[in-house]
Amino acid sequence: MLKGKLLLGAVVTLMMAMTTAAVDPTSPLAREVRRELVMLPYYSVFDNLEFQVDGGKVVLMGQVTRPTLKEDAARVVKRLEGVDEVENKVEILPLSPMDDQIRMATFRAIYATPDSTATPIRRSRRFISS
């Protein structure tokens, strides 16, 4: 139960901590792309999605732990009004139980201790609009 609460809390915190400073906040397309990416159902604390908007072209970048997340990200962005082209440069991280164990062990080591003063990891996220 505690593990689930920690994971959920970290996911919400990381999503809220995403920076959009490089994105034109008045750009409706950039806001919609960001919204669709953070709402993906299998998006987790171990995934890093970035995007760049250039007119009607959206370039997706970053790293994900599931191959389906890469495809889902491109699919939801292509559906948005105003998107003419999607270039998917998202990298798929190694798929192995050992890598998953390392990720979870690292997460637990940082966030599972009650006296931990650690704040959730702020993943590098770039949202650039030209």
If one compares 14 and 51, the residue with the highest pLDDT of the two is 51
Residue 95 domain-assigned? Answer: yes
Task: Tell whether the model's pLDDT for residue 3 goes beyond 70.
Answer: no
pLDDT per position as a tens digit, 38-78: 999 999 989 999 999 998 999 999 999 999 999 999 999 99
If one compares 84 and 10, the residue with the highest pLDDT of the two is 84
pLDDT per position as a tens digit, 74-119: 999 999 999 999 999 999 998 889 998 998 998 888 888 766 565 5
Residue 127 domain-assigned? Answer: no
Residue 66 domain-assigned? Answer: yes
Residue 84 domain-assigned? Answer: yes
Residue 63 domain-assigned? Answer: yes
What does the pLDDT read at residue 93?
93
> Contacts for 92-96 with beta carbons within 8 Å, 24 or more apart?
92/63, 92/64, 92/65, 92/66, 92/67, 93/46, 93/63, 93/64, 93/65, 95/65, 95/66, 95/67
Confidence of residue 23 (pLDDT cuts 50, 70, 90): low
How far is Cα of residue 26 from the mean position of the Cα atoms in its chain? 21
Work out how many domains the chain is built from and give that number: 1
> Domain containing 35 — which CATH number?
3.30.1340.30
Q: Give the domain range for residue 82.
A: 2-111
Task: Tell whether the model's pLDDT for residue 130 goes beyond 60.
Answer: no
DSSP string, 4-44: HHHHHHHHHHHHHH---TTS-TT-HHHHHHHHHHHT-TT--
Residue 30 domain-assigned? Answer: yes
Residue 11 domain-assigned? Answer: yes
What does the pLDDT read at residue 21?
34
Residue 45 domain-assigned? Answer: yes
